[in-house]
Amino acid sequence: MKHLIGKRLISAFALCMGMATVAQAADTNFTLALARNTITAGEETFTYAVPKQLGYFEEEKLVPTILQTDGSTAALQAVASGSADIGYASSASIAAAIDKGVGLRAFAGITVQWPYFIGVPKDSPIKKIADLKGKRIGVISLASASYADLRANLKLAGLAETDVIIVPVGAGARAAAALKADQVDAIDSYSDSFTVMRQNGVELDLLARPDEMSKLFSVTMVTSDKTLKSKPEELAAFARAAYKGIVYTKLYPESALKLSFTEFPQLAGSDDLQSQDAKNTAEAMKMALGDSIPADKPDPASWGQWLNLPADRWEAVLNFAHETGQTDKKLTVEQVWDGSLMPKIYDFDVSKIVEKK
């Protein structure tokens, strides 16, 4: 009898262990390729650090990790090779890769605005794009979206690339240093980069953009065609958690900053929330968030499916990519964008997103 009971106990224990193993196996490792080689106060805070610290990814049975890369092209290569499940990359860079035959697909938005501008010092005689003729213009790099943005601005203003001198200067503090050293007359960069420049003592005026660029947007979630077919639930789960992180950051910015510092202690000011560095990080984070949310709707409950961008927005991006030489042919929206996961991504209740105490 004791022998029989012992066998039953062993069987029950084995069954429990098996069930635990199955439950553990249900959590999926999920890699995000970030188009930066350093952590910044950008979208990685409110779409990754915040939801991770809040347990949103854990609720979705995802175990996410970040793979840092040297820009959109490298992030896309990581996704295409299977080194990453998902990437954050410029919409135009995604189009360029697909144009070259890479099996990728954008499936969820991250930004609703085009964050690139051309900035000039406050006392500069340059007042409009046409005034850039003969001037030295800094870009992040010749492989960056800022370079493509500059080319588009020049073309729409009736200028050729040869009408200006283009100088790679990096972003943020490095770009500010180039301006202080009188190496350039203007800078083409993104919104939170300009925030860092100002924090480094460089005050700039942003030139008005052509109306044709008003529909553009930049950073977008992208995956491989293979992953879109094999892991649709996981992709939707990641984006859902990320979107909840965006909402949380809008509603509770101070809490979101603390959560970001916990996940990314390398961010400036993480060791002293009252320091100027912490305030600068909060400001840069707020600026980056502004590119990902509706500008005229402070209440997230009124946003709707705000990152499910319509076809005409994608048409604008694809026209931009083609006209600036990033794609050889004009792609169709269907070749680049698959919004089939959007209903699942937005399957959450904004009213249930409450502050973590």
Q: Phi/psi of residue 206, each to 5°? A: -95, 125
Q: For residues 288 and 220, what is the distance between their CA atoms, to the nearest angstrom?
A: 14
- Which residues are within 8 A (CB) of 166 and not within 5 positions of it... i.e. 6 or more apart? 137, 139, 142, 147, 150
Q: For residues 234 and 255, what is the distance between their CA atoms, to the nearest angstrom?
A: 27
pLDDT at 20 over 70: no
> What single letter denotes the amino acid at residue 197?
M
Radius of gyration of the chain (CA): 23
Contact 104/73 with Cβ under 8 angstroms? no
For tokens 């409950």, name the residue: 301
The mean of the pLDDT values for the chain is: 91
Using CB atoms within 10 Å of the CB of residue 12, give its burial: 0 to 12 exposed, 13 to 18 middle, 19+ buried: exposed
pTM of the model: 0.85
pLDDT at 143 over 90: no
For tokens 């950051």, name the residue: 249
pLDDT at 175 over 90: yes
In the DSSP assignment, the letter for residue 45 is I
DSSP string, 50-109: HHHHHTHHHHTTEEEEEEE-SSHHHHHHHHHHTS-SEEEEEHHHHHHHHHTT--EEEEEE
Please name which of 53, 104, 85 lies closest in space to residue 238, comparing C-alpha atoms.
85
Three-state secondary-structure class, residue 25: helix
Average pLDDT over residues 263-291: 95
Q: Is the Cα dihedral 164, 165, 166, 169 positive or negative?
A: negative
pLDDT at 4: 46
Share of the chain above pLDDT 90, in %: 78
Structure tokens at 157: 């203003």
Name the least confident of 3-12, 102-111, 136-145.
3-12
Average pLDDT over residues 55-64: 98
Q: For residues 117 and 149, what is the distance between their CA atoms, to the nearest angstrom?
A: 8
Contact 316/113 with Cβ under 8 angstroms? no
For tokens 């188009």, name the residue: 35
pLDDT at 23 over 80: no
